[in-house]
Amino acid sequence: MSGKQTIKGLSPLKENSVSYKKQTSGDESMRGLFDLTGKVALVTGSSRGLGKSLAEGLGEAGATLILNGTNPDNLNRAVSDLRARGLAAQGILFDVTQPDQIRAALDEIRKDHDAIDILVNNAGIQIRHPAIEFPFEDWDRMIRADLSSIFYVSRLVAPGMIERRSGKIINICSLLSEVARPTVSAYTAAKGGVKLLTKSMAVEWGPCNIQCNGIGPGYFDTEMNRALIDNPEFNAWVCKRTPLGRWGEPKDLKGPVVFLASSASDYVNGHILYIDGGLLAGI
């Protein structure tokens, strides 16, 4: 078996055959670099919480938004809210853990849009158990929802990006892609996997001019973390442990996601950007 790799839609690279060519991306002013006007962004798990904020940031930068979820009421509410703010948004129901549903959803999206320019893999769940007691079915569910789903969606969106030789994929990692806490072994394993999956995608699809990066949120004030926020001891620990002395807020993710989705990050590939108030910087 040859050690050389061929990506569908991309001619094999011959050794010593690659030469530098200046890349041009249109308006190279600072405003132009961050402008997403004309881009279509699919954000999974975006009917509420951080996913909705990520989508909102992309929309405020000019992108047309495709929101995703599995609860029709939440999804319709999110679409209506973003439209009320003057953003171009539509919603599509599908389960990111089901490849057949993903394929059907992408077929529907193609009826309205020529391409998906930006993919944000945000959907995920959290289940807590001590590792010694973690039910096998919950482990499998977590890995499928928080790791396998990112591969499924990316695997089915990437061919269009490869054909156009253009695309941005942003995978939502976590502080727990780097460190661990008790009772979240499956989540930690999944998010650690997302970190290296992101790097693998960057290496394989980078030659097709697709930038694959990750965002690793620290402790954020979200519905998923409500029990932790309402726990005085844990709340105080987070504020003390985080150099900035506070929990993250959804707006703190808007700038990073726009950066990684825009031409401003055209030479950033395989990077995980941690948005954690400096928590990982200390011991």
Measured at the CA of 106, the angle between CA 112 and CA 203, to 5 degrees, comes to 120
Measured at the CA of 167, the angle between CA 60 and CA 211, to 5 degrees, comes to 100
Q: Which of 152, 187, 219, 274 is labelled catalytic?
A: 187
Where helices occur in 64-148 by DSSP H, the ranges are: 72-84, 99-112, 136-143
- Rounded CA gap, 129 and 33, in Å? 44
- Rounded CA gap, 153 and 254, in Å? 22
- Give the up-direction half-sphere exposure of residue 117: CA atoms within 13 A in the CB hemisphere: 18
Phi/psi for 172 (5° steps) reads -85, 110
**Residue 263, SS3?**
helix
Hey, what amino acid is at 190? A
Asked if 219 is an active-site residue, the reply is no
- Rounded CA gap, 119 and 116, in Å? 7
Residues marked active site are found at: 187
